[in-house]
Amino acid sequence: MQYVLLSLPVLLLAFSVHEFMHAYVALKQGDDTAYMLGRVTLDPRAHIDPIGSILFPLIGAISGAPLIGWAKPTPTTPRKYRKYVRGDVLVSLAGVAGNFLLILLFALLHVVAALVFRATGGNEVLVTADKLFVIGVELNFFLILFNLIPVPPLDGSHVLYHLLPANLGSAYRQLSSFGFIILYALIFTGALNRLFLVARPLGDLFLVPGDLVAGMTM
């Protein structure tokens, strides 16, 4: 239960940063659609979907599935990009770039927590905070890997589309109608569980060595 309680605020932050980055980079590329709708903000109220951002992750946590969900998609008008291909790729990758920045932030906070623990002996509040920081690293890595799955409408599909020949790219985009069916299949077959197992060792690369946190109850 503690893992769930710590994970939900991390997810809300991750979703907000992810969608903010999409909106911000779209604006920089010449598309003001999201800006006009108030989406160039870190305020979670502008991005959170009650079902996808709260209820669905909660159900996943209770059922033992990975904490996956979604925020309100950031609306874009690609024809407004100054350079269509460049804009579409940059806007698509901006979300995962935001998640990577959160990884660096949570990893830094983890290092600070470990150093404070060694210097002071720590306390329960510090240990709990450090658990949140570690979860922040792992969950954001998972969200990066998830969003890079080349299944429309995920971010990775936009990048793959521009790498394909025109005829294949057009056919590939037709998968958008079945994208969520494919994603649900990945969830129910346990494929996303394996993705989370990949995210954890990647997250460990950004966490401090074990001897630095020796004695912390993780």
How many helices and strands in the chain, by DSSP H and E? 9, 0
Instruction: Report CA Rg, the chain.
Output: 19
Q: Which two tokens stand for residue 42?
A: 């870190």
Query: Does the annotation mark 19 as catalytic?
Result: yes
Distance (Å, whole) CA 148 – CA 78: 19
Secondary structure class of 45 (helix, strand, coil): helix
Catalytic residue among 10, 16, 19, 99: 19
Q: Report d(CA 112, CA 110) in Å as an integer.
A: 5
Distance of CA 54 to the CA centre of its chain: 14
What residues are labeled active site? 19
